[in-house]
A and B are shown apart, each in its own frame.
Chain A
């Protein structure tokens, strides 16, 4: 399997996430699209960790570092989701809606 197919798959998932974040107004769906983008980047990092690097770079070390990065991205995403969903619940409690267009009253 060549690396470019995994790159194209990651690009497709990322761009679908961008499209969802730009076109939807439901805050929960926008948040899920952000999770989708994070996951496409994780997939790309894991794919790069399995790349044949030749003999110049010690393969095991660089590959393990890539997978540790993915692990930390998952940790940060879990923390981010808990705070973000709390913000969405607070927003629903205050405005009785989760439409992100209601948030622009912050600028006044």
Chain B
């Protein structure tokens, strides 16, 4: 149990540090790299909780596909030409205060819950591909097929939005 707790604290510190790196970086490219660290830490949490399928999907989809898209867009857009104008400091401080208030409210609500001391059971093997696949293709076939339509519409939409204006008018 001690190993599990050490891994939990290590991965949590990694995730929070990466998240703070995302919101405090100057260059968006470094933000992308910090976000990849956060995603790997969250995948580590999934492995720790014995949800291997979601860990692999998280690495492939998020750290692989989505972050490559972000990297391409960041490199596509020349940010040195137009650096970020420094924002009003009061707006920044008020944003930080607002998010801190949200965090305080959520933690206070959690501390009054009677169920927050429940022990987790990492050993259950519901996260394996065998059981997840059986449920996905028995009970959730229709949403799974609808998601393919969603991907098709997202692909067409991205192509149409990404087209040049002149081609659209023609």
Please list the residues of chain A having a beta carbon within 8 angstroms of any beta carbon in chain B: 1-9, 11-20, 22-26, 28-29, 31-33, 35-36, 39, 42-43, 46-47, 49-52, 59-60, 63-65, 67-68, 70-72, 74-83, 85-90, 92-93, 96-99
10 cross-chain CB contacts under 8 A: A13-B16, A18-B102, A25-B87, A28-B28, A46-B51, A50-B50, A59-B124, A65-B135, A86-B158, A88-B73
A90 partner residues in chain B, CB cutoff 8 A: 161-162
| Contact with B82, one of A71, A78, A87, A97 (Cβ below 8 angstroms) | A97
B39 partner residues in chain A, CB cutoff 8 A: 39
Chain B positions 70 through 109: 1 when the CB is less than 8 Å from some CB of chain A, otherwise 0: 1001101101011011010001100110111011001100
Separation of A34 and B70 alpha carbons in the complex (Å): 13
Separation of A54 and B149 alpha carbons in the complex (Å): 39
Say whether A35 contacts B28, CB under 8 Å: no
A92 partner residues in chain B, CB cutoff 8 A: 77
Separation of A78 and B66 alpha carbons in the complex (Å): 7
| Given A15-B102, A39-B38, A63-B126, also A20-B23 (CB < 8 A) | yes
